[in-house]
Structure 1
Amino acid sequence: MTPVTKMLLSLALLSLLISPVLSLDCYVCTSAATNEQCNTNNEECQAPRDTCMTVVDILGSAKVISKQCASQATCNGAAASASVDSNGNGNIVDCCNSFNLCNFSGAESVHIHTAVLLLTAGVLFLLSC
């Protein structure tokens, strides 16, 4: 593999790591009854809002979903104070900033593990050449 090819591959891998830092798109909604209704609008987060925050409020059989851009500190604070009682009532807060539109559902961890696996494979490939 030529030095130019190695450099281009390294830059491509680096862009995977840097792109979420430069800007993040999140689904945004207020008071949606379903996740599908909530995932119809998105927004590019502006600094210092660098995290997608999802809040699910539950009361009996009623569920209300809200999604927005937030700062990581704000989202983490909300997540730390979120709770659900023994009847299943309360709220759940989820924070993510790993990739654009990461707040589409609760399956973020699957995408994170896939991205880490691909990145690791790419680095190992570059080191073996």
Structure 2
Amino acid sequence: MSETKTYPIGVALSVASGKLLCEFSQLHEAITDLAGWPVMTHHMASRELMDGVARKVISQVPWMPGAVENMPDWSGLARDDVRSAIELWLDRIEDAHGHVVEIVLGEPLPAMGVLDGLERLGGAR
């Protein structure tokens, strides 16, 4: 039996959408859980990793694709207004679907080495 983990809606939507809708530390922890290995923050620049963890969430939460597809565009708002707008949107999602989702972690994704991904960021040579 695969291990399951419960995540707040904002964390699950962050993983699924690639947009930060929760505390960064919560997102990092969820990505590490879903990947099945210790993800370093620079690994999060990997499209393969981020797509892989997003697929795990989206495939298990039937309403998630619609929520991600219909996510508002907050780019024109001032920083303080963005936070309030996200909180209001998340409240509506929680009213419709609850405060948390349970995700089966499943098989680990292909692991990355400690230095993998740094080349994209101009780091290790």
TM-score, length of structure 2 as denominator length? 0.25
Structure scoring higher RCO (CA < 8 A, sep ≥ 6) equals 2
TM, length-normalised to structure 1 = 0.24
Structure whose CA Rg is larger:
1
